[in-house]
Chain A
C-alpha cells in the first residue's frame, strides 16, 4: 500500500433513497400537523393524508414489505406496485375532493338564492309593500 486514496467529498448520491424519502415524509407530516393546528385544514381531510404518509413512512423503514406484497399480488417489479398504489390513492383523493366541491356548490347555490330572496323581502318591507299581505304571510319552513 503506497498511499491512502483521499475520501471523495460527500454528495447527495451518498444519501440512501430510503432516508431521503423518510425525511420528506417526516417533513410532510410536520406540515400537516401545523396546518391542522392552525386550522387551515379540516380534520376530516387530514386523516386520509396522515394515513397515506404514515404508510409511506412504514414502507420507508421496512422496504421488504413491498417485496412481500409483490409476491402476494403477483406484480413482478416492486416499484410498479408502489406506483399503482400511489395512483389509486391519488384517484380516491381527487374523487373525494370532487364530491366535496359538488356539495359546496349546492350549499353556495342555496345560500345565494336565500340571500336574493331575503334582500327582495327586505326591500319590499322597507318600501312598505309587504304590510298589506303581512297577515298570515309568515315565512313557511320548507320540508328538507
Chain B
C-alpha cells in the first residue's frame, strides 16, 4: 500500500537545491512519497534526487512544468494516491506548511493553494508584474467563487478529484500550470481554496525585476487568461473514488455527496 500523499516536485536543472527540498519534505511528511519529475535536465538532477531518496520520473525531453506535473498526476492516479502536493524544486516552498494545505482538503476543498503572505519578505512583485498578479487574482477569484490572492503560486495540494481532472487535462501552455490549471479546475466544478503560507527567497537565483520582462509577463498573463477563459470547458471527472476503488489509508473521500454538482451549477449560472 503506498502512502496517501504524493509530493510531486517538478525539477529542471535543480541539482543544487533539490537534496535540501527532498530532505525537508521527508522530514515534514514522513508518510508521504516524494516523486521528482526530472524535466529533461542536462545536469545530474535525477541522480541527486534518487540519492536523496525520492522516486524519480525522467522526462527524456524538456516539457515545462505543465508536462512534468501531468506526469506526476498520472503517476498518482495509477498508483492510487489520495492527494498530490506540488512543491517547487527551488526551495521557496516550505514543506512544513503542507499540513495546512491538507487541512483545507479535509475541510472540503478539491484544490488547496498555498498563497504567499502579503507582508512576506520574499514577495517579488513590482510594477507590471504586480498589476498582472492583481488582475489574475481578481478574475480568477470570480471564476473560482472564492478569494484568491496568489494565483501564480506553484504550492498546491489536490485531492483525487483534482488528480483525475489534471491527469487528463493539465495544461502545457505558458502559465498553464498555474493560471489555466485553476480555470480548468474551477470550470470543471472543483472547489478551490487558499491559505496563506510563508515562502522563502528562492535558493537558486533571484526573480528578474527587469521592467520589460515584467511588462511581457503582464501581456502574456492576460493572453493566457483570456484564452483559458474562452476555451471549451473540460468535462469534470466522473463522480467516484480513487482508482483503487477505496481511498488509501481508509481516508474518507474528500468530495461532497453530490460530487460537486452544486458548485458546477453555480459556475454555470447567469452571467455566462
Name A residues whose Cβ lies closer than 8 Å to a Cβ of B.
105-106, 108-109, 112-113, 115-117, 119-120, 124, 132-133, 136-137, 139-140, 142-144
Contacts and interface: CB of A to CB of B under 8 A. Distances in A.
Given A119-B58, A133-B1, A144-B168, A113 B67 contact: yes
B167 interface: yes
B63 A142 contact: no
A142 B55 contact: no
B79 interface: yes
Contact of A112 (B60, B167, B245): B60
**Majority-rule SS of A interface residues:** helix
B172 interface: yes
B55 A116 contact: no
A140 B78 contact: yes
B57 A117 contact: yes
Interface residues of B, number: 28
B71 interface: yes
Given A112-B63, A113-B63, A116-B60, A139 B74 contact: no
A120 B2 CA distance: 15
Given A124-B55, A136-B244, A142-B167, A117 B75 contact: yes
B57 A116 contact: yes
Contacts, number: 60
B80 interface: yes
B77 interface: yes
B244 A109 contact: no
Contact of B75 (A106, A120, A137, A143): A120
A142 B167 CA distance: 8
A144 B164 CA distance: 11
Given A117-B71, A133-B1, A137-B244, 13 more contacts: A109-B172, A112-B60, A112-B63, A116-B38, A116-B58, A116-B59, A116-B71, A120-B55, A120-B57, A132-B1, A133-B79, A136-B245, A144-B168
A142 B77 contact: yes
Contacts of A117: 57, 71, 74-75, 78
A117 B69 CA distance: 12
Contacts of A109: 63, 67, 70, 172
A132 B3 CA distance: 12
A75 B221 CA distance: 42
Given A117-B75, A120-B57, A137-B80, A143 B238 contact: yes
Contacts of A112: 59-61, 63, 67
B243 interface: yes
Contacts of B79: 133, 137
Which 10 pairs from chain A and chain B are nearest by CB? A113-B71, A140-B243, A116-B57, A120-B57, A116-B59, A109-B67, A144-B168, A112-B59, A139-B78, A116-B58
Contact of A143 (B1, B38, B70, B168): B168
B37 interface: yes
A116 B36 CA distance: 11
Interface in B57-100: 57-61, 63, 67, 70-71, 74-75, 77-80
A116 B37 contact: yes
Contacts of B80: 137
Nearest to A111: B60
B32 interface: no
B190 to A, nearest CB: 16
Contacts of A139: 78
26 contacts: A105-B172, A106-B172, A109-B67, A112-B63, A112-B67, A115-B59, A115-B60, A116-B37, A116-B57, A117-B57, A117-B74, A117-B75, A120-B55, A120-B57, A120-B75, A132-B1, A133-B2, A136-B244, A136-B245, A137-B79, A137-B80, A139-B78, A140-B77, A140-B78, A142-B168, A144-B168
